[in-house]
């Protein structure tokens, strides 16, 4: 119970978050050879300290599960934290120092677990992967269709950008990012001998300007690839965020009755113990009443404590009555 309070306390969570940030800063400092050469021993000691804090955190969380520590690994984020810390504890030789540094860099990702809002965002991205796969498939089909069409239409005029299918697909990726796509448009509209082939004049052997086809091709591809399909990606991610937020709210809502049931169980145990104590007290009172000597009765049958004078007079009357 004590470990549960520690693991769920805000100061403990704040300490872990600050330790993660500090660990990320240490990895950034180690990218400077001068600082490593000057403060290498101190940086190593600080890294060991951060690792010790993470190990203690895992032990506290494992201990908080009581006699069922395997429940700790039912949460995927706990498994992720455990793997990050366990990998850092492996005896890695100097030949694999780069792997150790990358593992230490992954500690920064533990912020995802430390910050609930960020955790919801990452969970939404993960949940969106299946739906994003279908959107990516649709985008791939659009790329393939336009790549083949661009090779047929503009391959002779622009062999640098549409000479073959792989080159055409790469050029279309440039178009969908809106990076210099108008340059490709003008090459097809005016011909390679009029625009864009200053350094590649020798490759422009068959200039074929196609102003109408070029405008239709590139404008339609930008509308489909950038304005529609990429917005589908955004829509899928937003839908995943809403789903992740609802699941988090549901998890918190279900956690409240769980705590209430725990309190109700404690109250029932307390009431049962109090009832047993009252029964025991009643038995003690009954026993004491049987062992108490009879007292003269008062009005309404109430027992009046017998004074010393009354006791003396009662004994004198008993002695006089017994004399002949």
Buried b (16+ CB within 10 A) or exposed e, 267-299: eeeeeeeeeeeeeeeeeeeeeeeeeeeeeeeee
Binning pLDDT at 50, 70 and 90, where does residue 301 land?
A: very low
Domain with CATH 1.20.120.350 in the chain: 2-114
Q: Would you state the pLDDT for residue 258?
A: 43
The yes-or-no verdict on residue 302 having pLDDT over 80 is: no
Q: Which two tokens stand for residue 144?
A: 């393939």
Q: Would you state the pLDDT for residue 98?
A: 66
**pLDDT tens sequence across 133-171:** 888 888 899 999 999 999 999 988 888 889 899 999 999
Q: Would you state the pLDDT for residue 164?
A: 92
Q: Would you state the pLDDT for residue 264?
A: 64
Spatial contact of 212 and 154, defined as CB atoms under 8 Å apart: no
More confident call, 185 vs 235: 185
Q: Would you state the pLDDT for residue 194?
A: 85
297 forms beta bridges with 303
The yes-or-no verdict on residue 324 having pLDDT over 60 is: no
Binning pLDDT at 50, 70 and 90, where does residue 99 land?
A: low
State how far the Cα of 280 lies from the Cα of 229, in Å rounded to an integer: 77
Q: Could you tell me how many helices (H) and strands (E) the chain has, helices first?
A: 13, 0
The CATH class, in words, for 119-257 is mainly alpha
- CATH number for the segment(s) 2-114: 1.20.120.350
Domain with CATH 1.10.287.70 in the chain: 119-257
The yes-or-no verdict on residue 1 having pLDDT over 70 is: no
Query: What average pLDDT score do residues 204-227 get?
Result: 89
DSSP helix/strand/coil, 157? coil
The share of the chain scoring above pLDDT 90, in percent, equals 13
């Amino acid at each position: 119970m004590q470990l549960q309070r520690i693991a769920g306390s805000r100061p403990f969570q704040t300490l872990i978050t600050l330790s993660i940030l500090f660990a990320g800063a240490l990895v950034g400092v180690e990218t400077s050879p001068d600082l490593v050469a000057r403060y290498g021993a101190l940086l190593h000691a600080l890294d060991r300290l951060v690792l010790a804090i993470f190990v203690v955190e895992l032990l506290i969380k494992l201990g908080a599960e009581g006699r069922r520590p395997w429940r700790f690994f039912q949460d995927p984020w706990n498994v992720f934290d455990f793997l990050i810390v366990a990998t850092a504890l492996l005896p890695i030789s100097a030949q694999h120092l780069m792997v150790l540094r990358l593992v230490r860099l992954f500690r920064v990702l533990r912020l995802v677990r430390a910050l609930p809002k960020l955790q919801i965002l990452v969970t939404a991205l993960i949940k969106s992967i299946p739906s994003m796969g279908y959107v990516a498939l649709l985008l791939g089909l659009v790329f393939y269709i336009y790549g083949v069409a661009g090779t047929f239409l503009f391959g002779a005029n622009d062999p640098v950008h549409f000479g073959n299918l792989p080159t055409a697909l790469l050029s279309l990726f440039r178009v969908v990012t809106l990076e210099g796509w108008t340059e490709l448009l003008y090459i097809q509209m005016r011909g390679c001998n009029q625009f864009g082939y200053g350094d590649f004049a020798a490759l422009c052997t068959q200039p074929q300007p196609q102003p109408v086809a070029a405008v239709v091709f590139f404008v339609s591809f930008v509308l489909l690839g950038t304005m529609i399909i990429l917005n589908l990606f955004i829509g899928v991610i937003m839908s995943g965020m809403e789903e992740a937020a609802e699941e988090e709210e549901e998890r918190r809502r279900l956690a409240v009755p769980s705590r209430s049931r725990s309190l109700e169980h404690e109250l029932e145990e307390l009431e049962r113990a109090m009832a047993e104590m009252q029964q025991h007290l009643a038995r003690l009172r009954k026993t004491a009443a049987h062992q108490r000597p009879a007292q003269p009765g008062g009005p309404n049958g109430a027992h009046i404590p017998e004074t010393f004078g009354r006791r003396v007079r009662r004994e004198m009357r008993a002695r006089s009555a017994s004399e002949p």
